[in-house]
Structure 1
């Protein structure tokens, strides 16, 4: 499982997924890509999981057809302090996540 963190998530959030194959959009130079192009790039590069705070992605993209797992983090702000507590739930989601599904986790 290869995981990509969206550019709107803080880069240090990667530490909360230590031991997993995680990259950040900024590390790949993919910042500024529209969601459709970003998801296509993910598939080309073998990513299977997309973690974002963008609540609109599931409505703007055909996630079931993509075969990707999308995890939407729902917190008051996109700050590390607000998102870090959600990562234990994300790890649980990833254990049973099915391709083409959207999962939401929040406080």
Structure 2
């Protein structure tokens, strides 16, 4: 599965998904791109999902227009130590291998 880590996530989180093709926004040189444009780029480059710490994204975007899955990670802070606790939940969703478009809330 091809995943993108939003710029608000620690880059180290990418190491928690060795069985997937994972990129950061920085890897793709997409820093500073607004959410709507970012979602378009994800679709153009055949990404399966975006992982983000942006809780507002789910309310700001029309997911009928952007048919991509977005994992919204909910944790007290966005450190690798905290977010890595959510990795098993993310992997469980991915394992189903049929991600629905739109937000998928992941929290402990």
Q: TM-score range by the shorter chain?
A: over 0.9
**Structure 1 length-normalised TM:** 0.93
For the residue of structure 1 that corresponds to 2:105, the secondary structure is strand
Long gaps (5+) in structure 2: none
Which residue matches 1:102?
103
Deviations 1:40-93 (A, max 9, x none): 111111112010010111111112331101101100011111101100110001
Q: What is the 5 A alignment of 1:31-42?
A: 31-42=31-42
Please report the RMSD computed on the Cα atoms of aligned residues, expressed in angstroms: 1.1
For the residue of structure 2 that corresponds to 1:36, the secondary structure is helix
**Structure 2 length-normalised TM:** 0.93
Matched residues in 1 for 2:2 and 2:21: separation?
Answer: 5
Q: Does the 8 Å contact 1:65/1:100 carry over to 2?
A: no
**4+ runs of 1 displaced by more than 3 Å?**
none
Which residue matches 1:16?
16
Matched residues in 2 for 1:101 and 1:41: separation?
Answer: 16
Matched residues in 2 for 1:8 and 1:100: separation?
Answer: 21
Q: Which structure shows the higher helix fraction?
A: 1
Aligned length: 107
Long gaps (5+) in structure 1: none
Q: Shift in Å at residue 106 of structure 1? A: 1.2
